[in-house]
Structure 1
Amino acid sequence: MAQLIIGPRLYSCCNCRNHVSLHDDVISNSFQGRYGRALLFSHAMNIVAGPKQDKHLLTGLHTVCDVYCSDCLQVLGWKYERAYQQNQKYKEGKFVFENSKIVKENW
Protein backbone atom coordinates (compact mmCIF):
# COMPACT_ATOMS: atom_id res chain seq x y z
CA MET A 1 0.00 0.00 0.00
CA ALA A 2 1.36 3.43 -0.97
CA GLN A 3 2.12 5.76 1.88
CA LEU A 4 0.55 9.22 1.71
CA ILE A 5 3.09 11.97 2.36
CA ILE A 6 1.50 15.05 3.83
CA GLY A 7 3.43 18.30 3.70
CA PRO A 8 2.62 21.96 4.02
CA ARG A 9 0.16 23.56 1.64
CA LEU A 10 2.16 25.72 -0.72
CA TYR A 11 2.22 27.51 -4.03
CA SER A 12 4.43 26.65 -6.98
CA CYS A 13 5.36 28.18 -10.33
CA CYS A 14 2.71 27.20 -12.89
CA ASN A 15 5.42 26.56 -15.48
CA CYS A 16 7.94 24.30 -13.67
CA ARG A 17 6.35 23.57 -10.26
CA ASN A 18 9.21 25.17 -8.33
CA HIS A 19 7.95 25.97 -4.80
CA VAL A 20 7.63 29.73 -4.32
CA SER A 21 5.62 30.29 -1.11
CA LEU A 22 3.72 28.65 1.72
CA HIS A 23 -0.04 29.00 2.18
CA ASP A 24 0.67 30.17 5.75
CA ASP A 25 2.40 33.23 4.26
CA VAL A 26 -0.73 34.53 2.47
CA ILE A 27 -1.66 37.96 3.86
CA SER A 28 -4.46 38.80 1.43
CA ASN A 29 -6.27 37.16 -1.47
CA SER A 30 -7.95 40.36 -2.65
CA PHE A 31 -5.15 41.92 -4.72
CA GLN A 32 -5.33 42.89 -8.36
CA GLY A 33 -2.42 41.84 -10.56
CA ARG A 34 -1.53 42.80 -14.12
CA TYR A 35 -3.50 39.82 -15.46
CA GLY A 36 -6.30 39.42 -12.92
CA ARG A 37 -6.57 38.33 -9.30
CA ALA A 38 -3.44 38.01 -7.17
CA LEU A 39 -2.30 37.09 -3.66
CA LEU A 40 -0.14 39.10 -1.25
CA PHE A 41 2.50 37.02 0.58
CA SER A 42 4.74 37.88 3.52
CA HIS A 43 7.58 35.61 2.31
CA ALA A 44 8.73 33.97 -0.92
CA MET A 45 11.36 31.38 -1.83
CA ASN A 46 13.13 30.19 -4.96
CA ILE A 47 12.65 33.52 -6.70
CA VAL A 48 14.87 36.10 -8.37
CA ALA A 49 14.12 39.82 -8.15
CA GLY A 50 14.59 42.17 -11.08
CA PRO A 51 15.68 45.82 -10.92
CA LYS A 52 13.78 48.27 -8.73
CA GLN A 53 11.52 50.76 -10.47
CA ASP A 54 8.96 53.34 -9.44
CA LYS A 55 5.44 52.55 -10.68
CA HIS A 56 2.05 54.16 -10.26
CA LEU A 57 -0.23 51.30 -9.16
CA LEU A 58 -3.92 51.35 -8.22
CA THR A 59 -2.97 52.39 -4.66
CA GLY A 60 -0.41 55.06 -5.57
CA LEU A 61 3.30 55.35 -6.22
CA HIS A 62 5.46 52.38 -5.15
CA THR A 63 9.00 51.18 -5.76
CA VAL A 64 8.66 47.59 -6.98
CA CYS A 65 10.70 44.90 -8.69
CA ASP A 66 9.44 42.06 -10.85
CA VAL A 67 9.80 38.61 -9.28
CA TYR A 68 10.81 35.59 -11.37
CA CYS A 69 10.89 31.85 -10.68
CA SER A 70 14.52 30.92 -9.95
CA ASP A 71 14.28 27.77 -12.12
CA CYS A 72 12.46 28.77 -15.31
CA LEU A 73 12.50 32.60 -14.97
CA GLN A 74 8.72 32.88 -15.44
CA VAL A 75 7.49 36.27 -14.20
CA LEU A 76 5.31 35.48 -11.17
CA GLY A 77 4.50 38.96 -9.89
CA TRP A 78 6.38 41.66 -8.01
CA LYS A 79 7.86 42.69 -4.67
CA TYR A 80 7.03 45.96 -2.95
CA GLU A 81 10.28 47.65 -2.01
CA ARG A 82 8.86 51.00 -0.94
CA ALA A 83 5.44 52.57 -0.49
CA TYR A 84 5.26 56.37 -0.58
CA GLN A 85 1.88 56.73 1.14
CA GLN A 86 1.73 56.03 4.87
CA ASN A 87 -1.35 53.82 4.63
CA GLN A 88 0.45 51.57 2.10
CA LYS A 89 3.64 50.98 4.17
CA TYR A 90 2.40 47.53 5.26
CA LYS A 91 3.18 46.29 1.72
CA GLU A 92 6.91 47.00 1.97
CA GLY A 93 8.97 43.82 1.66
CA LYS A 94 5.90 41.79 0.62
CA PHE A 95 5.31 39.79 -2.56
CA VAL A 96 2.39 39.72 -5.00
CA PHE A 97 1.96 36.58 -7.10
CA GLU A 98 -0.55 36.48 -9.93
CA ASN A 99 -3.12 33.68 -9.51
CA SER A 100 -2.57 32.76 -13.16
CA LYS A 101 1.18 32.24 -12.54
CA ILE A 102 1.06 29.96 -9.49
CA VAL A 103 -0.56 26.62 -8.64
CA LYS A 104 -1.54 25.05 -5.32
CA GLU A 105 0.37 21.99 -4.06
CA ASN A 106 -0.58 19.56 -1.24
CA TRP A 107 -4.17 20.80 -0.92
Structure 2
Amino acid sequence: ALLRQARIADRQAASVSRPPEGSKKERRDRPMGRLFLTSLAPATGTIYCCKHCDSHLAYAQHIISKMFRCKHGKAYLFDKVVNVVAGESEDDRMMTTGLHTVRDIFCVACGAILGWKYVSAFEKDQRYKEGKFILERCKIHSGGGGPPNRIQLWAEHDARISSSEDDDQGAV
Protein backbone atom coordinates (compact mmCIF):
# COMPACT_ATOMS: atom_id res chain seq x y z
CA ALA A 1 0.00 0.00 0.00
CA LEU A 2 2.87 2.39 0.80
CA LEU A 3 4.55 1.60 -2.52
CA ARG A 4 1.29 2.35 -4.36
CA GLN A 5 0.94 5.71 -2.56
CA ALA A 6 4.56 6.59 -3.37
CA ARG A 7 4.04 5.80 -7.08
CA ILE A 8 0.91 7.96 -7.18
CA ALA A 9 2.72 10.84 -5.44
CA ASP A 10 5.64 10.58 -7.91
CA ARG A 11 3.28 10.69 -10.88
CA GLN A 12 1.37 13.68 -9.48
CA ALA A 13 4.63 15.56 -8.88
CA ALA A 14 5.79 14.78 -12.43
CA SER A 15 2.50 15.95 -13.94
CA VAL A 16 2.89 19.36 -12.26
CA SER A 17 6.05 20.10 -14.25
CA ARG A 18 4.41 19.45 -17.65
CA PRO A 19 3.30 22.40 -19.78
CA PRO A 20 -0.46 22.91 -19.92
CA GLU A 21 -2.27 21.40 -22.89
CA GLY A 22 -2.34 23.70 -25.89
CA SER A 23 0.61 25.77 -24.65
CA LYS A 24 3.19 27.00 -27.16
CA LYS A 25 5.88 24.81 -25.64
CA GLU A 26 3.74 21.70 -26.06
CA ARG A 27 3.00 22.54 -29.70
CA ARG A 28 6.69 23.24 -30.40
CA ASP A 29 7.70 19.83 -29.05
CA ARG A 30 5.53 17.96 -31.54
CA PRO A 31 7.35 16.55 -34.56
CA MET A 32 6.59 18.18 -37.87
CA GLY A 33 7.00 16.94 -41.40
CA ARG A 34 5.60 14.35 -43.72
CA LEU A 35 3.38 11.67 -42.23
CA PHE A 36 4.47 8.12 -43.04
CA LEU A 37 2.02 5.31 -42.43
CA THR A 38 2.83 1.64 -42.14
CA SER A 39 0.81 -0.61 -44.46
CA LEU A 40 0.48 -4.17 -43.23
CA ALA A 41 0.71 -7.00 -45.78
CA PRO A 42 -2.72 -8.64 -46.23
CA ALA A 43 -1.18 -12.05 -46.97
CA THR A 44 0.05 -12.24 -43.37
CA GLY A 45 -3.47 -12.36 -41.90
CA THR A 46 -6.51 -10.37 -40.85
CA ILE A 47 -5.80 -6.69 -40.37
CA TYR A 48 -7.53 -4.36 -37.92
CA CYS A 49 -7.96 -0.80 -39.21
CA CYS A 50 -9.10 2.57 -37.88
CA LYS A 51 -12.86 2.83 -38.35
CA HIS A 52 -12.57 6.51 -39.30
CA CYS A 53 -9.80 6.52 -41.92
CA ASP A 54 -8.93 2.83 -42.62
CA SER A 55 -5.30 3.20 -41.52
CA HIS A 56 -3.82 -0.17 -40.66
CA LEU A 57 -3.37 -0.76 -36.93
CA ALA A 58 -2.60 -4.40 -36.13
CA TYR A 59 -2.70 -8.02 -37.21
CA ALA A 60 -5.24 -10.34 -35.60
CA GLN A 61 -2.42 -12.67 -34.51
CA HIS A 62 -1.13 -9.90 -32.21
CA ILE A 63 -4.30 -10.07 -30.09
CA ILE A 64 -3.47 -11.27 -26.60
CA SER A 65 -7.06 -11.22 -25.33
CA LYS A 66 -10.56 -10.33 -26.52
CA MET A 67 -11.95 -10.38 -22.98
CA PHE A 68 -11.39 -6.70 -22.15
CA ARG A 69 -14.07 -4.06 -21.65
CA CYS A 70 -14.06 -0.31 -22.02
CA LYS A 71 -16.73 2.32 -21.45
CA HIS A 72 -18.03 1.78 -25.01
CA GLY A 73 -18.14 -2.03 -24.85
CA LYS A 74 -15.64 -4.63 -25.98
CA ALA A 75 -11.91 -4.01 -26.29
CA TYR A 76 -8.95 -6.11 -27.43
CA LEU A 77 -5.51 -6.29 -25.84
CA PHE A 78 -2.75 -6.20 -28.49
CA ASP A 79 0.95 -6.91 -28.20
CA LYS A 80 1.93 -4.78 -31.23
CA VAL A 81 0.19 -1.94 -33.07
CA VAL A 82 1.27 0.50 -35.80
CA ASN A 83 0.14 3.96 -36.92
CA VAL A 84 -0.75 5.14 -33.42
CA VAL A 85 0.74 7.81 -31.21
CA ALA A 86 0.48 7.89 -27.43
CA GLY A 87 -0.72 11.04 -25.71
CA GLU A 88 1.73 12.97 -23.58
CA SER A 89 -0.08 12.73 -20.27
CA GLU A 90 -0.21 9.64 -18.12
CA ASP A 91 -3.34 8.92 -16.10
CA ASP A 92 -3.84 6.63 -13.13
CA ARG A 93 -7.12 4.82 -13.78
CA MET A 94 -8.96 2.46 -11.51
CA MET A 95 -10.14 -0.45 -13.64
CA THR A 96 -11.86 -3.71 -12.80
CA THR A 97 -8.46 -5.40 -12.41
CA GLY A 98 -6.95 -2.67 -10.24
CA LEU A 99 -5.08 0.61 -10.59
CA HIS A 100 -3.12 1.15 -13.83
CA THR A 101 -1.14 4.02 -15.30
CA VAL A 102 -2.15 4.50 -18.95
CA ARG A 103 -1.69 6.85 -21.89
CA ASP A 104 -4.42 7.34 -24.49
CA ILE A 105 -3.49 6.32 -28.03
CA PHE A 106 -4.58 8.10 -31.20
CA CYS A 107 -4.60 7.25 -34.92
CA VAL A 108 -1.69 9.10 -36.54
CA ALA A 109 -3.68 9.67 -39.75
CA CYS A 110 -6.96 11.11 -38.45
CA GLY A 111 -6.30 11.77 -34.75
CA ALA A 112 -9.18 9.63 -33.48
CA ILE A 113 -8.74 8.21 -30.00
CA LEU A 114 -8.56 4.43 -30.33
CA GLY A 115 -7.81 3.19 -26.83
CA TRP A 116 -4.86 3.30 -24.45
CA LYS A 117 -1.41 1.94 -23.73
CA TYR A 118 -0.61 0.41 -20.35
CA VAL A 119 2.41 2.16 -18.84
CA SER A 120 2.41 0.38 -15.49
CA ALA A 121 0.24 -1.81 -13.30
CA PHE A 122 0.18 -1.55 -9.54
CA GLU A 123 -0.88 -5.17 -8.97
CA LYS A 124 1.88 -7.73 -9.52
CA ASP A 125 -0.38 -10.17 -11.40
CA GLN A 126 -1.39 -7.42 -13.86
CA ARG A 127 2.13 -6.44 -14.92
CA TYR A 128 1.86 -8.54 -18.10
CA LYS A 129 -0.17 -5.63 -19.54
CA GLU A 130 2.69 -3.14 -19.29
CA GLY A 131 3.68 -1.92 -22.75
CA LYS A 132 0.58 -3.50 -24.32
CA PHE A 133 -2.25 -1.71 -26.13
CA ILE A 134 -6.03 -1.69 -25.79
CA LEU A 135 -7.98 -0.95 -28.96
CA GLU A 136 -11.68 -0.30 -28.42
CA ARG A 137 -13.69 -2.58 -30.70
CA CYS A 138 -16.13 0.20 -31.66
CA LYS A 139 -13.22 2.30 -33.01
CA ILE A 140 -11.70 -0.36 -35.28
CA HIS A 141 -12.81 -2.81 -37.95
CA SER A 142 -11.31 -5.98 -39.35
CA GLY A 143 -10.81 -6.72 -42.99
CA GLY A 144 -9.93 -4.28 -45.67
CA GLY A 145 -6.63 -6.01 -46.28
CA GLY A 146 -5.48 -3.41 -48.79
CA PRO A 147 -3.77 -0.14 -47.99
CA PRO A 148 -5.99 2.77 -46.93
CA ASN A 149 -7.54 4.63 -49.85
CA ARG A 150 -5.79 8.00 -49.43
CA ILE A 151 -7.25 9.43 -52.67
CA GLN A 152 -10.79 8.85 -51.41
CA LEU A 153 -9.91 10.37 -48.01
CA TRP A 154 -8.58 13.54 -49.67
CA ALA A 155 -11.61 13.75 -51.99
CA GLU A 156 -13.95 13.53 -48.98
CA HIS A 157 -11.83 16.13 -47.16
CA ASP A 158 -11.96 18.51 -50.15
CA ALA A 159 -15.73 18.01 -50.43
CA ARG A 160 -16.19 18.94 -46.76
CA ILE A 161 -14.00 22.04 -47.19
CA SER A 162 -15.83 23.24 -50.29
CA SER A 163 -19.26 22.65 -48.74
CA SER A 164 -18.22 24.67 -45.69
CA GLU A 165 -16.99 27.49 -47.98
CA ASP A 166 -20.38 27.44 -49.75
CA ASP A 167 -22.07 27.85 -46.37
CA ASP A 168 -19.79 30.80 -45.56
CA GLN A 169 -20.56 32.56 -48.87
CA GLY A 170 -24.32 32.29 -48.26
CA ALA A 171 -24.00 33.88 -44.81
CA VAL A 172 -24.20 37.67 -44.58
TM-score (norm. length: structure 2): 0.57
Rg (Cα) greater in structure: 2
Letter in 2 for 1:21: A
Q: For 1:73 and 1:45, how far apart are their aligned partners in 2?
A: 14
What secondary structure, in the 3-state scheme, does the structure 2 residue paired with 1:24 have? helix
Q: Which runs of 5+ in 1 are unaligned?
A: none
**Cα root mean square deviation, aligned:** 1.3
Is 1:42 the equivalent of 2:42? no
Number of the residue aligned with 1:31: 68
Superposed structure 1 runs of 4+ greater than 4 Å apart: none
Stretches of structure 2 lacking an aligned partner (at least 5 in a row)? 1-40, 146-172
**Whose strand fraction is larger, Structure 1's or Structure 2's?**
1
Q: TM-score normalised to the size of structure 1?
A: 0.90
Task: Tell me the matched-pair count.
Answer: 102
User: Would you say 1:78 and 2:116 are equivalent positions?
Assistant: yes
Which has the larger helix fraction? 2
Is residue 68 from structure 1 mapped to residue 106 from structure 2 by the alignment?
yes
Q: Matched residues in 1 for 2:71 and 2:134: separation?
A: 10
- How far did residue 6 of structure 1 move? 5.0
Name the % identity.
40
Q: Which has the higher contact order (CA 8 A, sep 6+)?
A: 1
Write the distance in 2 (CA, Å) between the matches of 1:6 and 1:40.
21
